Structures are given as C-alpha cells and as structure tokens.
C-alpha cells in the first residue's frame, strides 16, 4: 500500500522540510509563470510557496527557512539579499 503524503500547512516552512519535501519561495511570479511551475511540479517534488511581492530587502524574510528562493527579473538579488537568504538557510 502506498504511503500517503502528509497534508502540510503552506505557511509552515519547517513542516515541509521535516517531511523531506523542499519548499521553494517563489517571488513575483505571474499567472503564466505559476501555471508553468505548477505543471513542472505535478509530481509534488517540492512545495511551491508563491509570493506576489518582489524579492527585496523588505520581503527577503518571507524566504526564511525555505530551502530555495526562485526569483524573476523584477526581483532584487544583490549581495545583501543573497547574504540574508543564506543566513536564513535559503539557497
């Protein structure tokens, strides 16, 4: 019998990591980006957590504790932002 995946709270970044499912903070994705990413992740390889806001100094904390941050052209990914992401455990 297949093992059922636990239901995870999309706002709890630690729960996803405990269950071995990397959580990805996706910043400023448009609807067409989300459609593509959701289709690519159809098997549930990771948990995509979408944020409407662009990544910047004020929003970088949203990625804290999440395994990965996915950024787009309008996001700010300068040295300070990258250092903060790394300090908070995000790749």
pLDDT for 11-69, tens place per residue? 554 544 455 899 999 999 999 999 999 999 999 999 999 999 999 999 999 999 999 99
For the chain, the distance separating the N- and C-terminal CA atoms, rounded to the nearest angstrom, is 35
- Residue 9 Cα distances to 13, 17, 73, 88, angstroms: 8, 12, 28, 20
When pLDDT is cut at 50, 70 and 90, the band that residue 75 belongs to is very high
- Beta strands (DSSP E) in 19-62 are 23-27, 47-51
pLDDT for 41-50, tens place per residue? 999 999 999 9
């Amino acid at each position: 019998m297949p093992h059922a995946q636990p239901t995870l709270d999309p706002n709890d970044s630690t729960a996803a990591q405990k269950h071995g499912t990397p959580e990805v903070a996706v910043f400023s994705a448009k609807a067409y980006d989300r459609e593509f990413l959701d289709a690519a992740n159809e098997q549930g390889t990771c948990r995509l957590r979408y944020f409407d806001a662009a990544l910047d100094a004020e929003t970088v904390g949203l990625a804290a504790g999440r395994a990965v941050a996915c950024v787009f052209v309008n996001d700010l990914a300068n040295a300070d932002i990258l250092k903060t992401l790394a300090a908070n455990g995000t790749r």
